[in-house]
Structure 1
């Protein structure tokens, strides 16, 4: 545990804190763990990577500022000085809040597939996820809308996502985090972020539309945007350019 937070670590070198979204407030297991470590493996050649998760059992009224404070305490008590942060999707929302509220803790920030607030489709899908979870239904099928624009693709994906939930998971912690992101809007606070920032974004991201990514970069004093045309939300992080682009920024002295 990293200041009571579950985490995975690998690699050698200065710390790189990675923030991702996971349905459970625990280290990923099985295929999810494999895909997580595959994502961060290129970074382990330059950094000691810490994939840090939230603690279980957060109060249902938790806001994004509360989540950022949880990670801020872990960073402040574990590392000497500010750290580099790599954050994806909902993890990026948390990282933006962290960098705005605790600018002394983040010295370089790479974001992917995220923005200063959710787009309309992202909000709609996440609210549907929350409602399904609250009614005891497998919730992930609600996310098909933000994965593809294809009608046939959504029908097929809903079935696959429904199966992926397994039927025995507790999604209470996931609902808490998604509720926090539902109320997240940092457009009035972006100027408080002092870290050098890179946002890598897909041109066809349905969760956080490209115009919101542009607003985010325009609001952060030292930020730039890299767009992968034609890439979806998930396609951004799996693109072969992602790790090299992020590493070039993180290791640029």
Structure 2
């Protein structure tokens, strides 16, 4: 098992590996840790949850397959896997490349490739980060369709970026920009549930439907009226994921 992968481990029970995108290549701290713990708490009641993160200092041309190979070294053995958003892209790559490590798979707010709106926003994030500018305002449009709310969120996101190095975050999003598992979905052998918001603009619902159809035996649960981020905060999310994982 690799010891250079940042990880947050909580709970007790069989292992559950959680994969998600974080701005920093580090074990979550401060507000990021509070947010992660809030999401993980229901799962930690049933599992030993390992929130794995990427090692810092990755090459700019790192691919999703490269990341999957790195994360595979963080597994102690076969485990259930929960992948959210960009972490869901990584979870698909891992499940296709290393089916021996994934017993059961829940994907949430993700698909086998990005949609056009999500791709534009993430490319803007990457460009800003590599120019040394605060990048997170580029993602505001993914969180709300309201121009007024978008302007407000852009300011908050700009403030949240202060003092941080976003090179590693840009590397992971760049890996997702080149990610398209559409032709390899049949390589995912684990029983799979995909949970998706009807109004997700990062990965449109039609892409989620195609993804679920391409994974043998996969199930798709759609939350009507929910956006990308609202999928993960929906009160049904943890119970639905836990029911499938257990």
Q: Which TM-score applies when normalising by structure 1?
A: 0.95
Question: Contact 1:17/1:51 (CA < 8 Å) preserved in 2?
Answer: yes
Aligned residues: 246
SS in 2 for 1:74: coil
Deviation of the 1:156 alpha carbon: 1.4
Shift of 1:3: 2.9
Does the 8 Å CA contact 1:67/1:94 hold for their aligned counterparts? yes
In the other structure, the counterpart of 1:237 is: 232
5+ residue gaps in structure 2? none
Root mean square deviation of aligned Cα = 1.0
Task: Tell me, in whole angstroms, the C-alpha distance in 2 between the residues paired with 1:43 and 1:242.
Answer: 11
Match of 1:125 in 2: 121
Q: 2:154 maps to which residue?
A: 158
Aligned residue for 2:80? Answer: 84
Are 1:68 and 2:45 an aligned pair? no
- Normalising by structure 2, what TM-score? 0.98
Aligned equivalents of 1:161 and 1:45: distance in 2?
32
Specify the alignment match of 1:203 in structure 2: 198
Q: Contact 2:52–2:74 at 8 Å: present in 1 too?
A: no
Contact 1:147 1:206 in 2 (8 A): no
Q: Which runs of 5+ in 1 are unaligned?
A: none
Preserved contact between residue 193 and residue 221 of structure 1 (Cα < 8 Å): yes
Q: What pairs up with 1:1-253 in 2 under 5 angstroms?
A: 3-75=3-75, 78-79=76-77, 82-166=78-162, 168-251=163-246
Write the deviation string for residues 107-164 of structure 1: whole angstroms up to 9, x where unpaired. 1001111110000000000000011111111100000111111121211111111111
Deviation larger for 130-139 or 180-189 = 130-139
Cα distance in 1 between the residues matched to 2:131 and 2:73: 34
